[in-house]
Amino acid sequence: MTNRRTFLAGLAAASLAPVPGWASVGAPDFLAAALFPDGSYRLAGLDATGAILFSVPLPARGHAAAAHPHKAQAIAFARRPGTFALVIDCATGAVLKHLQAPAGRHFYGHGTFSADGTRFFTTENDYEAAEGVIGVWDAASYARVSEFSSGGIGPHDIRLMPGGDMLVIANGGIETHPDSGRVKLNLPTMRPNLTYADLSGSVVAQVELRDALHKNSIRHLAVRGDGLVGFAMQWQGDQTEHPPLLGLHRLGQKARLFAAPAAAQNSVQGYAGSIAFSADGNAIAITCPRGNTLHRFSAHSGTFKDALALEDVCGLGAGTEGLIFTTGTGAFGVLTDTRAAITARPDCQWDNHLIPIHCAV
């Protein structure tokens, strides 16, 4: 018979046993949501060549995902204004938890873990109050433990800053309400911003665009290892205007905005989809699915480098060989110094985002 001492020793050993990490599922390099030919929406894990290592069904269309920094767990989000987020065991395909946005809220499709993997942060819409909220969840039980203001309206993307003690939030500035679907309710008065906050929600800094660009919704983020933040925008104003869609910001400095030459800029219809720094940090790119193109810039000077024609390109992330992209036509490829090379084309339609997995395996 097992005595109390033996039981407690076994319990202690179990608590110290390593939780299966990403190596247990083939060490995927990326996560992406997709629509498959059978009509199912799924979250897929992909290797660096674009091969699908696993896929897990979603109840509806997905948007982005977040990878746990240590465990082989991912959180897949519904597309706005969805209210579900699934915690998925990527080793077994099991749904460990079904996160539900609180009453009167919906998710915006993005979230991020704390550096130690103990907390998870979600961007949410308190749509009756027309205010942005960051939900805070315990990443062991996935119970909701607190929340704080996002510092604006329409928080879309959220990233953890280097050092792990601060978040950067893309408040898009657009008011929406589920009763109106995806209709934008406050375009004349919208005011996007970048908000930097500590992990308790205290605002460290905020950055707004100049008045003439108040309709340039800040949507997606990329963060370089030295703290440089890239942000991609979507223009909500007159479509005869073609403002910059790429911004760079460093705490304590002013935001810098960059655009392609006129002909290339005018072709993208005021819409940037995803944004990413290259692995070496020297380049930054935005995808422009409405213009079927990808724009690449110097991350140091903001100088425009090139435009690459890619049908319905939207997903983007850093890979070891260069920036990796996905398209709504199913293509997966890599950007070299001079061209875009498609390396795989699985039978699916990739959704908006490609999420790199940078963690211990």
Go through the domains of the chain in sequence order and give each one's CATH number: 20-356 (2.130.10.10)
Residue 201: left (phi > 0), alpha (psi -120 to 50), or beta?
left
pLDDT level of residue 114 (50, 70, 90 thresholds): very high
pLDDT reading at 15 higher than 60: no
Tokens of 262: 């006129």
Provide the percentage of residues in the chain whose pLDDT is more than 90.
83
Q: Is the pLDDT of residue 1 over 50?
A: no
Q: How confident is the model at residue 12 (pLDDT cuts 50, 70, 90)?
A: very low
Separation between Cα atoms, residue 244 and residue 266, nearest integer Å: 10
Instruction: Estimate the share of the chain in helix, then strand, then coil, as percent rounded to the nearest 5.
Output: 10, 50, 40
Q: Give the predicted TM-score (pTM) of the model.
A: 0.92
Q: Which of 31-40, 107-116, 146-155, 333-342 has the lowest mean pLDDT?
A: 333-342
Position 321 scores a pLDDT of 79
Q: Are strands 95-100 and 84-89 parallel, antiparallel or unpaired?
A: antiparallel
Tokens of 315: 């997903």
Lowest mean pLDDT among 13-27, 239-253, 338-352: 13-27
CB 186 within 8 A of CB 174: yes
- DSSP for 96-125 reads EEEEEPPTTEEEEEEEEE-TTSSEEEEEEE
| Burial group, residue 253, by CB count within 10 angstroms (0-12, 13-18, 19+) | exposed
CA distance 31 to 111: 14
Summarize pLDDT for 169-199 with one digit per residue, the tens: 999 999 999 888 889 999 999 999 999 999 9
Least confident range from 37-46, 84-93, 125-134, 181-190: namely: 84-93
Q: Give 359's pLDDT tier (boundaries 50, 70, 90).
A: very low
pLDDT higher than 50, residue 130: yes
Q: Residue 60 — pLDDT band, cuts 50, 70, 90?
A: very high
Mean pLDDT of 297-316: 97
Q: Which residue has the higher pLDDT, 21 or 113?
A: 113
pLDDT grade for 17, boundaries at 50, 70 and 90: very low
Who contacts 255 (Cβ-Cβ below 8 Å, separation ≥6)?
A: 194, 207, 209, 247, 248, 249
Residue 223 has a pLDDT of: 97
Query: Contact, 173 vs 191, CB < 8 A?
Result: yes
Task: Tell which residue, 249, 357, 246, 223, has the closest CA to residue 294.
Answer: 246
Sign of the dihedral through C-alpha 176, 182, 188, 193: positive
> Using an 8 Å Cβ cutoff, are 216 and 170 in contact?
no
- Which helix (H) or strand (E) covers residue 5, if one does? helix 4-16
Query: What is the rounded CA–CA span in Å between residue 301 and residue 283?
Result: 10
Average pLDDT over residues 322-327: 95
Residue 24 — pLDDT band, cuts 50, 70, 90?
Answer: low
Identify the helix (H) or strand (E) that includes residue 288: strand 283-288
- Does residue 361 surpass a pLDDT of 70? no
Residue 14 scores a pLDDT above 50? no
Top mean pLDDT of 49-63, 67-81, 88-102, 162-176 is at 162-176
Is the pLDDT at 360 greater than 50? The verdict is: no
Residue 77 CA to its chain's centroid (Å) = 10
With b meaning 16 or more CB within 10 Å and e meaning fewer, what string describes 103-127? eebbbbbbbbbbeebebbbbbbbbb
The Cα–Cα gap between 250 and 226 comes to 9
- When the pLDDT of each residue in the chain is averaged and rounded to a whole number, the result is 91
3-class DSSP assignment, residue 67: strand
